[in-house]
Amino acid sequence: MDRLLIWVAVAIVALVGLWWLWGTASHKPSSVEVQVTVSEYSFKTSLTDFPAGTVYHFKITNAGTMAHDWMIMPAGETDESKALVKVEDSDLKPGVTLTRDFTFNQAGEFEFACHVEGHYEKGMKLPISVK
Ligand SMILES: [Cu+2]
């Protein structure tokens, strides 16, 4: 009888353990955070290579002293209507942090860019790659 109780206790502990493992495995984060820092006249990012299909949670901080854009553009593209995702300079003021979730759906060469008048020409772009 005592033995049976011990086996029941062991079985319960094992089941609770399995349930906990299953729970932690299924609650892994569903997006990858990317920290982007914007200033005059450059971008810094925690990631430059992006596998397609992953959900990225971009945290864009303006650490500069003037407003900037943050947009993901096909490499070298200057037509803002071609932006894959865009934060306007009217929103990204100095000291502000904004977030955007974005998933690349095709491989290619892209860049972070600021198209506030004159900034792109001053080098405000950063190449990124989607595999
Ligand atoms: Cu700018």
Q: Where are the domains of the chain?
A: 1-28, 32-130
The CATH code for residues 32-130 is 2.60.40.420
CA–centroid distance, 131 to ligand 1, in Å, is: 27
**CA 21 / ligand 1 centre spacing (Å):** 46
pLDDT of residue 22: 73
pLDDT given for residue 55 in this prediction: 96
Taking the centre of ligand 1 as the mean of its atom positions, its distance from the CA of residue 126, in whole angstroms, is 12
Task: Give every residue of the chain whose pLDDT is below 50, as ranges.
Answer: none
- Cα-to-centroid distance, 41 and ligand 1 (Å): 6
Q: Provide the strand spans (E) within the chain.
A: 32-39, 42-45, 49-50, 55-62, 70-74, 85-87, 97-103, 108-113, 125-130
pLDDT at 28: 57
pLDDT of residue 14: 75
pTM here is: 0.78
**Residues 58, 100 contacting (CB under 8 angstroms):** yes
What spacing in Å lies between the alpha carbon of 29 and ligand 1's midpoint? 32
Q: In what order do the strands lie in the sheet with 97-103?
A: 42-45, 32-39, 55-62, 97-103
